[in-house]
Structure 1
Amino acid sequence: MVDLRKRRGALVIISLVLCTVVLIVLQISGRYGGDELHNVGLRPLSPWQRALHRIIDSIDSVFKNHVLLVNLKEENRHIQEEVRRLKRENADLRESTQTLERLQRLLLLKAKVPAPMIAAEVVAYSPSAWFRTIVINKGQRDGVRKGLPVMTWEGVVGKVMRISSTSSVILLVIDRNSSVDCLVQRTRTRGILEGEGGGRCFLRYVPRTEDIQVGDHIVTSGL
């Protein structure tokens, strides 16, 4: 008996929902025109109609939010890709600018130094703790000879210590085995610039009576 009542209740609910859906469709499509049908059919079912509308609105809202989230995620991915591309272009531009500045300085140096010059690039640094050396990409076939001075636009770097046909090893002025004849630019006092090995040089063999001050520029007079 109880099961029969439950079944009847379920059938009544299903029938009411179906009637509500049919009446809503008819109302939207305009296939009925009388107020009597509205009063008889829709008013008793208005709670079901409102509930159905709320369900439909909820489903529509969830769908719209899902579409919005998907679109935002895709847009964010495109923005991140664009940021990475702009960073790469910015890095390339900085590198090109620095290369151009170095070339301009080398041209100015070449104009100041009357002797023939060979432009080269550093391709390696010595890992040894005993020697401060670098390797350049020019060698004997390019006209490099042992003992030649090596300069940048800022001044003397060192001298050629060993050469091969395509590369050369440069002994830096900061190496302990390096010694360069130099003079104090302000007083023209001569001395020897010796490497300390830790990134510094010492000015030696200068008489104590000479006027040497902090900030004086030291100019190399030979290698």
Structure 2
Amino acid sequence: MREIRGAIFDVDGLLFNTEQLYCDICIELAPQYGIENYNQDYYKKYVGTSNKALYEIYQNDFPFLSIEDVSNFIRAVQKIAESYLEVGNVEIKAGTKEILEFFYSQNIPCVIASNNQTKFIESMLDHHNLDIYFQKIYSFDDVENPKPHPEMVNKAVNFLGIDKKSLVMFEDSSHGAIAAITANVPVIIVPDMLPVSEEIRGNVLKECESLLDAKEFLSTTHLFR
């Protein structure tokens, strides 16, 4: 049995449905730029891709667009998404409150390690009254190397001051899981839009369908202080 004494959480796609938000905005705006058949399957192909990389991808996939068109499309999507993120108005994922309350009731400290920006993370937490559950936020703003590099995870570990074997990290993507695995932190993965690769699956503590399932797994198979 593993004693869990601290937890690290990703944000996008795990606690909040931000990937679906971006996907829906892309699908809505694409026809305005003459882009047809932009659907969820297309969006999934590039989940986790940076805006810089998307410029080249879109120019290759939609050669009828000018560089200016591609730039305007990406900026328009980001602007609309940020209008939601700035006020925290993003759908919460199933099981988020339940698993956070579970850790809170066990006096187990939780921190965030996310590639999003601190201001947007804080807005979403505040909007859903989840800020009380976290002792610290580590974001894109705090590191030179975002996930899948382990820098952010190691910062969270150092803050908690707990042996890595007694921690658990929650992620929804392979990028995040790789960061945890590289940092030698046990990771539970709750896939969002993309399935878990076999390589990743073999190195995670558990793959769960939702955070509710993760809570059930921990409450029935793990010891706490």
TM-score in same-fold range (> 0.5): no
When normalised by structure 1's length, the TM-score is 0.27
Pick 1 or 2: higher relative contact order, CA cutoff 8 A, min separation 6.
2
Return the TM-score normalized by structure 2.
0.27
